[in-house]
Chain A
Amino acid sequence: MKKLVSLMLALAMTLCLGLALAEDSSIAVCIASEPDTLDPALNSAVDGATVTAHLFTGLSNWAQDENGALQIVPAAAEALVEPVINEDGTATYTYTLKSGMLWSDGQPVKSSDFAFAWKRAASSALGADYGYMFEGVKGYPDELAVETPDDSTIVVTLNNAISYWDELLAFPAFFPVREDVVANEAWATDPSTYVCNGPYTMTGWDHNSVITLTKNPNYFDADSIKMGKIEFYLSDDANNMLANFENGSWLLIDDIPTSEMKRVSEQYPDEYVVAGQIGTYYVCWNINEEILPEGCELTGEEAEQARAEIRKAVSLLYDRNYIVEEIGQAGQVPASSFVAMGMTDADGSEFYKNAGSAADFDGYYNVSADAYEANWESAVETLKKYYTFDEATQQVTNFPSLVYLYNTSEGHKAIGEYLQSVMGAAGINMSLTNQEWNTFLNTRKQGDYSIARNGWLADYNDPICFLDMWTSGSGNNDVQFGRDANAELHMYSIDLTPYGSDLKVENGTWAETYDAAISAIKSCTDKANRYGMMHAAEDLLMSTGCITPLYFYTDPYMLSSSVHGFFANPLGYKYFMYCTVD
């Protein structure tokens, strides 16, 4: 009898232990500070996207295949369908929702929830930063063509088929929300009112401290979710994050102090990860600022032609390898084009490798370390054409003084100082001025600068998100293309006829060429032609010399070697649902 009792006791204990282990699988990480919002429609930050991607499921999802390659897979939708092309060129997609899907409060997920969420996110009344992600949908912004004939069918019509549409469906702005839930404006700030349809539910949000997610038993694919609990700690101090990583409290941190980069990469070679991130760090010139020497007789188109040549020459003075190795120190890649590394071309190769027309290097100029000397010489040759050159000092003497504007940060300052020193060596006097972030954005947007630091991160894997920002009317057109004096210049040429478009303009304005090219790209449905046009648009953009790419961003982070099954997508969202911890 005693034996039996002890056996049963031992069995019970083992069971309890097993259960406890299963429930206890948890991970503590820190990706950023308190998110501004966890409402998927309003979120515009990468960290907010990471958290919402664990809480919601859109029609599609990012996933890893058995080889670890990333792919877009159907999630709430039964399948990711091909569009039906209508007579007017619009494209209609019809999706069927998986049956039996439930919200975290037990109510069924309906197609109308998706339709409501999309219309809400796109509406100008909501004013979401990412409302424009719905730009391709017919009726954008306030009359989206999304219909729901029944509770499980969604019919959406786009102005034309979009090659990256499946990827957009995995974007937080496309996640479903329920009308009765979001009627409460504070719904996304409190776990008790946070209703979601994803692998996790929010079980705690200690503001500015920690967000706790717990596995959602109502999730349709709950069996595949391995991690029981995720704690997103909130900190905005990279040093503090590192301290918590080093003492073992947090298993992933998404920010590393620049000054510690070198040490941690040597001390933790297996845990220091440099992931790709689709983004470009660049210098932008205000196209309407005069940089020709005083007394120069060139005017109008000729003057701008000269300025473009000079700006391109100045961009050759920078040693991008020095910048990434000595200043950035986070594995960044020297950039020779604006559309960032990580963007795929029509044939699946890297878009940036096919940019420009040079045979012996990628992009618009050669950024290899060996080419630097030749770059410098060619830059000086060009400068000699327009400025007085002092042979003794090997410097130009009458380049107007420039002011480099950057937002207050040690990293940007270091890069500014480097640019200042190399330009100084060529005789170009440039002073530095920094502004606090919000003021800086304002100054730059209004074109109240001559040369400024800039950066751009992709929202989805399509080069258009690097190109449509430079149309005359775009809110992100910091260079001021097609505005003020530049609007009057008839000097730009573009030929899209090789790509099945009628657009061929010689010596047109920015609006007649670049803006028109972007419209043509947006309405083009043939993949190869579309990418060809995007290369042509980038060629035109880079010919102005107003964009000086320095490097392609990377996303360095620390990931404990005890974590398995982790992955991040090219946009920097990090996925912990399939993780296990030793």
Chain B
Amino acid sequence: MDSKMAYYILKRIVLAILTIWIVITVTFFVMHSVPGGPFVGEKAISKEAQAALEAKYGLDKPLMEQYFTYLHDILTKFDFGPSLKQRGRMVIDIILDGMKTSAKLGVIAACCAALVGIVLGAVAAIRRNTVLDKVIMVITTAFVSMPSFIMGSFLLIVFSVKLGLVPANGASAGGLILPVITLMLYPMSYITRLTRSSMLDVLGQDYIRTARAKGVSRVKIIFGHALKNSLIPVLTYFGPMLAYIVTGSMVVEQIFAVPGIGRQFVSSITNRDYTMIMGTTIFLAALIVIMNLITDLLYKVVDPRIDFK
């Protein structure tokens, strides 16, 4: 690794920390300014009990003090505190618990989307203007324009309720099949279209023509030259794809009752579970920042001409 790249990585890490700090600060103060609180329920608890709970969790202290205590605990002890609603559980445990499932769901969906998308895109480009190409384009257009909650409900009804092929509950064995499919269809279709157009572009380049003129085999042209070069635009999509999968998983986890982090995130906000809101927000922000960094670094691997400045 050259010094330029090291400097670049360092710069990005500093920026990432700054971004996360801003996220923490904004979330913390916005969250506390929203009416309601973690101990507000349909049935009111007594003022004494309310005060006892607030004292227990330090919510009776001035807001600035709470803010600095929170930052201090994260920085020095990596302590995200206890959940205010799920009594007895630590935020970090809840996040790691949910993350196990969400990560599995997200990684499988992302890999499948990339793999299938690239293959379909390449096939469509090579068989340009054939029936196969048209079929792939029509299907992917449909998937790109269909929201995941409709797709998810549709798959649930057909494959789980009517045909009984797969379970409807994300927690049972084989329960992730439908959520993965629902989650991957949009990015897969997008990647297909991206790969196709990029590949068509590359296939028209002079160096491909030269290779062909020199008698290089068709397989070698496609896999050795065309595919690799046509993947750069696809790679740029990985950042947005991650963002899509993170937000999309909230909907998909809901539809299929997948015990992931997405559901936790949504319910923590409704419950005003302050520590959970902070924990999940920081976690998701960090995830996106890190993945974006990795995507940027991958550019360099695929295209050595890219210069880090």
Contacts and interface: CB of A to CB of B under 8 A. Distances in A.
Contacts of A37: 86-88
A438 B37 contact: yes
Interface stretch (B6-14, B157-165, B225-233, B234-242): B157-165
Nearest to A250: B169
A439 B34 contact: yes
B36 A439 contact: yes
Nearest to A459: B43
Interface string B227-262: 000000000000000000000000000111101100
B36 A442 contact: yes
Interface string B86-113: 1111100010011000000000000000
Interface string A102-142: 00000000000000000000001111110110000000010
A439 B85 CA distance: 16
A44 B41 contact: yes
A221 interface: no
Nearest to B171: A209
Contacts, number: 146
Interface stretch (B49-57, B73-81, B210-218, B283-291): B49-57
Given A210-B171, A235-B169, A240-B156, A441 B42 contact: yes
B84 to A, nearest CB: 10
B64 to A, nearest CB: 23
A441 B40 CA distance: 7
Nearest to B50: A127
Contacts of B56: 127
A436 B272 CA distance: 11
B172 interface: yes
Interface in A241-256: 243-244, 246-250
A243 B156 contact: yes
A443 B41 contact: no
Contacts of A187: 88
A131 B161 CA distance: 43
Nearest to B264: A208
Contacts of A208: 97-98, 171, 259-260, 263-264
B45 to A, nearest CB: 6
Contact residues of A: prevailing secondary structure: loop
Nearest to B166: A247
A246 B162 CA distance: 9
A436 B52 CA distance: 26
A209 B171 CA distance: 6
B255 A237 contact: yes
A78 interface: no
A246 B157 CA distance: 10
Residue in A44, A210, A236, A441 with the greatest tally of chain B CB atoms within 10 Å? A441
A189 B171 contact: no
A39 B88 contact: yes
Interface residues of B, number: 53
B138 interface: no
Contacts of B39: 127
A36 B35 contact: no
A131 B45 contact: yes
B295 interface: no
B271 interface: yes
Contact of A132 (B36, B46, B263): B46
B49 A445 contact: no
Interface in A239-284: 239-240, 243-244, 246-250
Contacts of A34: 86
Contacts of A207: 94, 97-98, 259
Given A127-B45, A243-B156, A243-B157, A441 B172 contact: no
A230 B169 CA distance: 17
B278 interface: no
B88 A239 contact: no
A72 B45 CA distance: 27
Contacts of A128: 45, 49
B86 A441 contact: no
Contacts of A476: 43-44
B40 to A, nearest CB: 5
B89 A189 contact: yes
A371 B42 CA distance: 33
Contact of B44 (A189, A235, A237, A474): A474
A33 B257 CA distance: 9
A547 B98 CA distance: 43
B244 to A, nearest CB: 21
Contact of A443 (B35, B97, B161, B260): B35
A44 B43 contact: yes
B270 interface: yes
Nearest to B254: A237
Interface string A217-236: 00000000000000001111
Interface string A3-23: 000000000000000000000
A475 interface: yes
Contacts of B45: 127-129, 131-132, 475
Given A129-B45, A131-B45, A475-B45, A189 B161 contact: no
Contacts of A36: 85-87
A188 B263 CA distance: 22
A177 B167 CA distance: 37
A185 interface: yes
Contacts of B49: 124, 126-128, 131
Residue in A186, A243, A437 with the greatest tally of chain B CB atoms within 10 Å? A243
Nearest to A435: B35
A11 to B, nearest CB: 34
A235 B48 contact: no
A243 B257 CA distance: 11
A480 to B, nearest CB: 13
17 contacts: A36-B85, A127-B49, A189-B89, A208-B97, A236-B267, A243-B160, A244-B167, A244-B169, A247-B161, A247-B164, A247-B167, A247-B168, A248-B164, A439-B36, A442-B40, A445-B40, A475-B44
> 5 closest Cβ contacts across the A-B interface?
A475-B44, A438-B36, A208-B259, A209-B171, A127-B49
Interface of B: 34-37, 39-50, 52-53, 56, 82, 85-90, 94, 97-98, 153, 156-157, 160-161, 164, 167-172, 254-257, 259-260, 263-264, 267, 270-272
Given A132-B46, A185-B87, A244-B169, 4 more contacts: A36-B85, A185-B88, A439-B35, A442-B40
